[in-house]
Amino acid sequence: MAVGLHPPGELLAIEGLRLGTAEAGIRKSGRRDLVVLELPEGAETAAVFTRNRFCAAPVHLARQHLESTSPRYLLINTGNANAGTGQRGARDALRCCQALAEQTGVAVDRILPFSTGVIGEPLPVDRLISGLPTALGSLRPDGWQTAAEGILTTDTVAKACSRQLELDGHTITLTGMAKGAGMIRPDMATMLAFVATDCSVGGPLLQRLLQGVVDQSFNRITVDGDTSTNDACVLVATGASHCRLDALHPEDVAAFAETLADLCRELAQAIVRDGEGATRFITIQVEEAASAAEALTVAYCVAHSPLVKTAFFAGDPNWGRILAAVGRAGVDDLDVDRVRIWLDDVCLAEHGGRADGYSEEAAAERMAKQEIGIRVALGRGNASETVWTCDFSYEYVRINAEYRT
């Protein structure tokens, strides 16, 4: 059950980019599970990938291909991660790229593969390849909605959005889509995300922009603390608007970066809102930290605590669990007398214990809401960071217990 999340609204086409889908039966029949993105000649592409040491075969191959040339096609499948599959997985990923290259007339290294789904099972290459003609035949500029549906796994809602801004007399469009609901604690990227713009952006600037916005969006969410083997986030600039970002004033670059960041935050938060079995969307803000790294460490310690997450599912203002998570976050010289903790506007703890005037009834009222905020002031400095997470429900256990059945 997604928390405050609705199907995408109007998704704007990005001139020069087309998307197509197919039902290839990679894991289940009767659902879209194969997506192809066609990029125009001359487009710039940036990407970030998982740091999981067991990263999937398509991650290795996508990195290699991106380092050698500019891609023309992105090939995405769901239902099978092609991770933990050794040398066979590497051969299978390459074989899929070769098949698409043959059907499109491009060099094989101009195709970037992406996979998501069950880990440790061989990729059904023949089924994937058999779906390519249908995916290519359905390529269209307005294919974002069906593509967003085609990359889902345990998600309950497609996640996609668009933004526009004016730069130097040009209307610039950005559209993106993402998937993810479980195994979410990104490290460099998210489960899978694909964003495109018609702005012209040079490769080095595009990579810097992507890394910057990912660090403030996809790298600030967690559902269960598990980093996927297949995480990837891709940003494509087609240049069709003929507005070159590199040549604009710094304030224009900043405006573009903020619009991109706003789009990515919406997609990242949508992943948490659709966390497997989620019933609460939780914002954790840690302030007055000695450093940003310290603030994030404390925020994630609270966000990853099963006791905190199950209390939120129950609507139980068991503030001692939050207090304990802050205390074990590894800030060795933390002065607990200076720490304050709030549940929305209700002060839970201060001076090392329960806050004066604390009201269990008021706290329970806040806990009954679908969207809840935790704020922690450490009393150590001026740094602050925000992390978004969700609760743990019975449904999360059921989904993951039955994931392969």
Q: Is residue 12 part of a domain?
A: no
107 shares a domain with 66: yes
Condensed to tens digits (0 to 9), the pLDDT of residues 213-238 reads 999 999 999 999 999 999 999 999 99
Buried b / exposed e along 55-86 (16+ C-beta atoms within 10 A)? bbbbbebbeebbeeebbbbbbbbbbbbbbebe
Q: What is residue 232's predicted lDDT score, i.e. its pLDDT? A: 96
Distance CA 75, CA 62 (A): 10
Q: What is the mean pLDDT of residues 242-262?
A: 97
Q: What is residue 189's predicted lDDT score, i.e. its pLDDT? A: 78
Condensed to tens digits (0 to 9), the pLDDT of residues 97-112 reads 999 999 999 999 999 9
137 shares a domain with 74: yes
Outline where DSSP puts E strands in 50-130.
73-80, 111-118
Taking 80 as the threshold, does the pLDDT of residue 257 lie above it? Answer: yes
225 shares a domain with 337: no
Q: Is residue 358 part of a domain?
A: yes
**pLDDT-based confidence at residue 1 (cuts at 50, 70, 90):** low
Q: Is 190 a catalytic residue?
A: yes
213 shares a domain with 113: yes
CATH code of the domain containing 332? 3.10.20.340
203 shares a domain with 113: yes
Q: What is residue 200's predicted lDDT score, i.e. its pLDDT? A: 98
Q: What is residue 393's predicted lDDT score, i.e. its pLDDT? A: 95
Q: What is the mean pLDDT of residues 327-354?
A: 97
Q: What is the mean pLDDT of residues 378-403?
A: 95
CATH code of the domain containing 111? 3.60.70.12
268 shares a domain with 300: no
Taking 80 as the threshold, does the pLDDT of residue 190 lie above it? Answer: no
396 shares a domain with 347: yes
Q: What is residue 403's predicted lDDT score, i.e. its pLDDT? A: 86
Q: Is residue 7 part of a domain?
A: no
Q: What is residue 258's predicted lDDT score, i.e. its pLDDT? A: 98
**pLDDT-based confidence at residue 177 (cuts at 50, 70, 90):** very high
Condensed to tens digits (0 to 9), the pLDDT of residues 276-300 reads 999 999 999 999 999 999 999 999 9
Joined tokens for residue 78: 């769901």
Among 224, 244, 273, where does a domain finish? 273
363 shares a domain with 342: yes
Distance CA 358, CA 371 (A): 21
pTM of the full predicted structure? 0.96
Give helix 319-327 / helix 292-303 axis angle, nearest 10°.
140
Joined tokens for residue 353: 């214990």
Among 273, 300, 334, where does a domain finish? 273
Taking 80 as the threshold, does the pLDDT of residue 392 lie above it? Answer: yes
Q: Is residue 2 part of a domain?
A: no
Identify the domain containing residue 293 by its residue range. 281-401
Distance CA 33, CA 128 (A): 9
Q: Is residue 10 part of a domain?
A: no
342 shares a domain with 256: no
Domain count of the chain? 2
| C-alpha dihedral, 95 to 98 to 103 to 109, nearest 10° | 140
State percent of the chain over pLDDT 70: 100
Q: What is residue 260's predicted lDDT score, i.e. its pLDDT? A: 98
168 shares a domain with 105: yes
Taking 90 as the threshold, does the pLDDT of residue 187 lie above it? Answer: no
**pLDDT-based confidence at residue 70 (cuts at 50, 70, 90):** very high
Tell me the average pLDDT of the chain.
96
Q: What is residue 304's predicted lDDT score, i.e. its pLDDT? A: 97
State percent of the chain over pLDDT 90: 97
Among 240, 273, 306, where does a domain finish? 273
Residue with tokens 């090939």: 75
Q: Is residue 3 part of a domain?
A: no
Q: Is residue 204 part of a domain?
A: yes
289 shares a domain with 251: no
Taking 80 as the threshold, does the pLDDT of residue 405 lie above it? Answer: no
Taking 80 as the threshold, does the pLDDT of residue 385 lie above it? Answer: yes
Please tell me which residue in 190, 222, 227, 389 is annotated as part of the active site.
Answer: 190
Taking 90 as the threshold, does the pLDDT of residue 21 lie above it? Answer: yes
Alpha-helical runs (H) found in 122-246: 125-137, 144-150, 203-215
Q: Is residue 13 part of a domain?
A: no
201 shares a domain with 116: yes
Condensed to tens digits (0 to 9), the pLDDT of residues 147-167 reads 999 999 999 999 999 999 999
